[in-house]
Amino acid sequence: MEKYVLSIIADNRANVLARIAALFARRRFNIDTITASGTSDPEVSRITIVIQGDEDTVRQIIGQTEKLQDVREIFVLEPVNSVTRELLMIKVAADVNNRGEIRDIADIYKAKIIDLSADSMIMELTGKTEKIDAFLKVMAPYEVLEMCRTGITGMERVAGKKRG
């Protein structure tokens, strides 16, 4: 099973995301992550979905998704021709005894401390999935109070036609 990042350009209308997710559910395609956002064109949304499967599964997903009325385009973001990122926000227990260690780790990974209290610290980190995973491994010995990840979003590197 290989990981695929699909980029969907769709009309920015109510329930588009729900219809796309429902299509995946009806066809029993599991979604690892999903993000949706507006684009430079207010009429268009970009939806990024990460799935695992083989080439036949991906072709089937693309074929089914293209049939949806509000979908303008769907394509695979190839790793060599695209840039992908995700965002992590993590709150860890931090006091005077470990705050310096945690700050040093944050500096190494270029995580940004966005909130600090007497007993906790919230950091944000943006990067490739592998970077986020590595940061979480290093933070594992500390008491993680909360965390959330956005899932992958991305776009093609190459210049070409405008996609939303």
In this structure, are 18 and 48 located in the same domain? yes
Model confidence at 118: pLDDT above 70 = yes
**Structure tokens, 153:** 């979003």
In this structure, are 67 and 117 located in the same domain? no
The reported pLDDT for the residue numbered 27 is: 85
CATH of the domain at 18: 3.30.70.260
Residue 20 lies in a domain: yes
Pick the last residue of a domain from 50, 76, 102.
Answer: 76
In this structure, are 32 and 97 located in the same domain? no
* Average pLDDT value for the chain: 94
In this structure, are 93 and 67 located in the same domain? no
The pLDDT tens digits for 19-39 are 999 999 998 888 999 999 999
The reported pLDDT for the residue numbered 56 is: 92
The reported pLDDT for the residue numbered 114 is: 98
Which residues in 57-68 are b (16+ Cβ under 10 Å) and which e? bbeebbebbeeb
The reported pLDDT for the residue numbered 1 is: 85
Q: Which among 81, 13, 23, 26 has a CA at the least distance from the CA of 49?
A: 23
The reported pLDDT for the residue numbered 161 is: 60
- Give the distance, in angstroms, between the CA of residue 65 and the centroid of all CA atoms in the same chain: 20
The pLDDT tens digits for 37-70 are 999 999 999 999 999 999 998 999 999 999 999 9
The reported pLDDT for the residue numbered 28 is: 87
In this structure, are 42 and 63 located in the same domain? yes
In this structure, are 59 and 98 located in the same domain? no
Between 114 and 161, the higher pLDDT residue: 114
**Residue 158: pLDDT band by 50, 70, 90 thresholds?**
confident
In this structure, are 70 and 113 located in the same domain? no
Residue 164 lies in a domain: no
The reported pLDDT for the residue numbered 46 is: 96
In this structure, are 65 and 8 located in the same domain? yes
Residue 93 lies in a domain: yes
Model confidence at 151: pLDDT above 70 = yes
The pLDDT tens digits for 67-115 are 999 999 999 999 999 999 999 999 999 999 999 999 999 999 999 999 9
Residue 96 lies in a domain: yes
Domain carrying residue 57: 2-76
CATH of the domain at 145: 3.30.70.1150
